[in-house]
């Protein structure tokens, strides 16, 4: 499916499952630790940076933010996992909201799980990927902030992530700053929706 990602509009910030839009369109969600670059990547994919809240301070995204793209699907910006400055209760609320949505919403067709290349994937990432995997929703692991590493360090990080998450192929990587990998990810999302 060829999707016009540049035609994007904010729909709703859902703080509960009842607020999740149900207009028949499929959803593709972006998950990962706080500060990994989820919101920035949505901005890069849609070419509309002002649409998506990003921040130098983590913890910007508190709800499931839905963006209707190309009249064809919703991209969902998740709050980050594990932001240390949130209270224990707030972290638990966010984990439950994401877990319930992934388990129960049958419009959710794919999860893009972002891993900061520089960390090579943390124990929390592995735990999140296992937990989200239980929903049975297909998942794509993508490395972020590729511009922060040289080619050699990047190749090493990609190999480490492939090993840690037991992937069959090298994970894709992106840079929201330079735009590298962004068109490839658009194509992967379009292709995944064709199969779903």
The overall longest dimension of the chain from CA atoms, in Å, is 46
CB-count exposure of residue 2 (10 Å: 0-12, 13-18, 19+): exposed
Counting residues that bind Mg ion (by CB under 5 A) gives 4
Q: How many whole angstroms separate alpha carbon 47 and alpha carbon 107?
A: 24
Running DSSP on this structure, what letter comes out for residue 14?
E
Residue 58 interaction partner, one of ligand GTP, Mg ion, none, beta carbon < 5-8 Å per kind: ligand GTP
- The gap from C-alpha 187 to its chain's centroid, in whole angstroms, comes to 15
Are 181 and 172 a contacting pair, CB within 8 Å?
yes
Please give the residues from 11 up to 70 whose contact with Mg ion meets the rule CB under 5 A: 38-39, 60-61
Residues that bind ligand GTP (CB under 6 A): 32, 34-40, 54-56, 58-61, 79-80, 83, 144-145, 147-148, 175-177
Nearer to ligand GTP, 61 or 135 (CB): 61
User: Does 176 help bind Mg ion (rule: CB under 5 A)?
Assistant: no
Nearer to ligand GTP, 23 or 97 (CB): 97
Q: How far is the CB of 174 from ligand GTP (least distance, A)?
A: 7
Nearer to ligand GTP, 86 or 165 (CB): 86
Task: Write out the DSSP string of 111-171.
Answer: EEEEEEGGGT--HHHHHHHHHHHTTT--EEEEEE-GGGS-HHHHHHHHHHHHHHTT-SSPP
Nearer to ligand GTP, 27 or 33 (CB): 33
Nearer to ligand GTP, 136 or 183 (CB): 183
User: Structure tokens of 58?
Assistant: 């983590």
- Point out which residues pair with 8 in neighbouring strands: 69
Which residue of the chain is nearest ligand GTP when measured via CB? 80
Q: How far is the CB of 195 from ligand GTP (least distance, A)?
A: 27
Q: What does the binding site for Mg ion look like in residue numbers (CB under 5 A)? A: 38-39, 60-61
């Amino acid at each position: 499916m060829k999707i016009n990602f540049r035609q994007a509009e904010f729909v709703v910030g859902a703080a509960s499952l009842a607020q999740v839009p149900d207009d028949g369109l499929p959803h593709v969600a972006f998950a990962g630790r706080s500060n990994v670059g989820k919101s920035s990547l949505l901005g890069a994919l849609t070419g509309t940076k002002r649409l998506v809240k990003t921040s130098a301070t983590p913890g910007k995204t508190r709800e499931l933010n839905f963006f209707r793209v190309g009249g064809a699907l919703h991209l969902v910006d998740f709050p980050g996992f594990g932001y240390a400055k949130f209270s224990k209760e707030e972290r638990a609320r966010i984990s439950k909201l994401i877990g319930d949505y992934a388990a129960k919403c049958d419009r959710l067709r794919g999860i893009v799980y972002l891993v900061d290349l520089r960390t090579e994937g943390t124990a929390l990432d592995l735990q999140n990927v296992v937990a989200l995997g239980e929903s049975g929703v297909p998942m794509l692991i993508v490395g972020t902030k590729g511009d922060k590493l040289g080619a050699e360090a990047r190749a090493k990080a990609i190999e480490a992530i492939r090993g840690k998450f037991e992937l069959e192929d090298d994970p894709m990587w992106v840079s929201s700053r330079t735009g590298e990998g962004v068109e490839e990810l658009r194509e992967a999302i379009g292709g995944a929706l064709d199969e779903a």
